[in-house]
Amino acid sequence: MQFTAAQIAMMINGTVEGNADTAVASFGKIEEARPGQLSFLANPKYEEFLYSTAASIIIINATQELKQKINATLIKVPDAYSAFATLLDKYQQIQRQQLTGIQQPVYIAATAKTGEHVFIGAFAYLGEKVIVADGAKIYPNVFLGDNVVVGENSIIHPGVKIYHDCVIGKNVTIHAGTVIGSDGFGFAPQADGTLKKVPQIGNVIIEDSVEIGANTTIDRATIGSTLIKSGAKLDNLLQIAHNVEIGNNSVIAAQSGISGSTKIGNNVMIGGQVGIVGHIKIADGTKINAQSGVSKSIKTPNSAVTGSPAFDYTAALRSQAASRNLPELEKRVIELEKQLREMMAKNNF
């Protein structure tokens, strides 16, 4: 597919500077793009390539000051990174619209329902009373258990397993290998030392416009629902335990784990390898630094914490600075003690 600079500018509300009829058919990084490709500049570290790149069209910030002549056609926008993301999304949508139909072999239960313009890949399994809404894409080797609902235009990538009764909203993307609705980790200690499994009879609800990375696990609730709210973005390799709630537009980086019944607020940012204990609350807008361990509720909105156990980010930086000065402080204390002993000896103390 080819697009002209004028067409691209219309998609991203940009202004063309140069030949509006210049056409591109693919994308390239600014430092290695070829003629016929589109690139963008958002990070000042790559500005030098703006003047040497072979890209035919470049998206740049409207505030970008040009230091020399540029051969490429420019599209100026308020935010080049955001505009480029919008363009990629539109391009991807066009590609996906072409992918429809049901490949063979698949298993689709007689009671399952599929909407219009759906795609069901080979070796997919759709259990009893499954609903796959209009425009959804179910890639090969996906398992949808009984009563699963997949909303409009959602994309379930290869090898995803969604257990019975779970609900996936509209415009959700779930990447390969993720498991939704596996049993929560619930066992009751018995008098004889054994552990009795507590049945997990709830489900998982994933609201609209959520994205979940590869090989993430989200456990079903013991009772009720594990809930991922609209706009949340979850990275690869996460463990989300039973009855957890994750708020709107919150983001969690890879290898983090959230224990059961914890409630994460809206617009929370959680770094990689963070561990959060169960049955606590994290206030809206909280930022948790990578590798932190959160052992109690964070009640103040827009807090920033770090460390294990996690505490105020600014205070943690001061503590680190003080720690780095400890060797020098030790030398000064030793010297002061020496001087004090000399003074005491001189004055016969």
Catalytic residues: 242
The verdict on whether omega for the bond into residue 309 sits within 30 degrees of 0, i.e. cis, is yes
CA distance 71 to 165: 56
Q: Cα–Cα distances in Å, from 24 out to 46, 59, 189?
A: 21, 13, 64
Q: Cα–Cα distances in Å, from 73 out to 77, 141, 195, 228?
A: 13, 44, 67, 42
CA distance 176 to 141: 10
CA distance 285 to 251: 10
CA distance 54 to 57: 9
Phi, psi of 308 (to 5 degrees): -140, 110
The tally of CA atoms less than 13 A away on the side-chain side of residue 169 is: 17
